[in-house]
Amino acid sequence: MMNRVPPQKMLGLRTVGVRSLCAMIWIPLAACTTTGEAVQTTISGAAHTTASVSPQLSYPSFRDFPAITEPAPDDAVIFGEVSALTSDRNALAADVAAIEWQAVDAGTLQQEIEAHVRAVGTAPEAVSSQAAISEFLTRARERGHAPPPVDRR
């Protein structure tokens, strides 16, 4: 015979714990919904806000939305659409599985690329351009130093 757990002890909560949990949830919510003169006297823009919000309190209403004119689809129609999506997914998975992926080890790929770059070589213009760029940067850094402070004595 199974031991029946009393409803008060379900989920490890006691009745007192459930009550305090409810209080923790509802008291802040109730504080958020308090309206009245206390709020209007403490907030400078409360009158303007109340005047702007009050006409809109009833919006949106269900009567503002269009009524459903067509009945909900039958279970068979929904089942057919789900089956079609499932078969499309399976066909796509089969297509992906048929692709001959050319993925290789990252280290091997890096070595192949480096070997290809070394085999092509570097053009002399690129080397001289790199040297010219480095020289220009060095001169720019030297010019960028601040001059010594002026002696104001």
Which tokens is 53 given? 């919000």
Q: Specify the pLDDT at position 4.
A: 57
Stretch 94-117: mean pLDDT, rounded?
A: 87
14 within a domain of the structure (yes/no): no
pTM to 2 decimal places: 0.27
Alpha-carbon torsion, ordered 126, 129, 133, 139, to 10 deg:
150
90 within a domain of the structure (yes/no): no
Which tokens is 4 given? 């029946």
120 within a domain of the structure (yes/no): yes
pLDDT in tens, 4-53: 555 555 555 455 555 565 556 656 555 555 555 555 556 677 788 888 88
2 within a domain of the structure (yes/no): no
91 within a domain of the structure (yes/no): no
User: How many domains is the chain partitioned into structurally?
Assistant: 1
The residue with tokens 């130093």 is 145
37 within a domain of the structure (yes/no): no
Stretch 88-97: mean pLDDT, rounded?
A: 95
pLDDT in tens, 111-140: 999 999 889 877 777 778 888 899 999 999
88 within a domain of the structure (yes/no): no
133 within a domain of the structure (yes/no): yes
Q: How far apart are CA 38 and CA 46, in angstroms?
A: 10
Range of the domain at 111: 106-137
CA–CA–CA angle 60, 65, 67 (5° rounding):
150
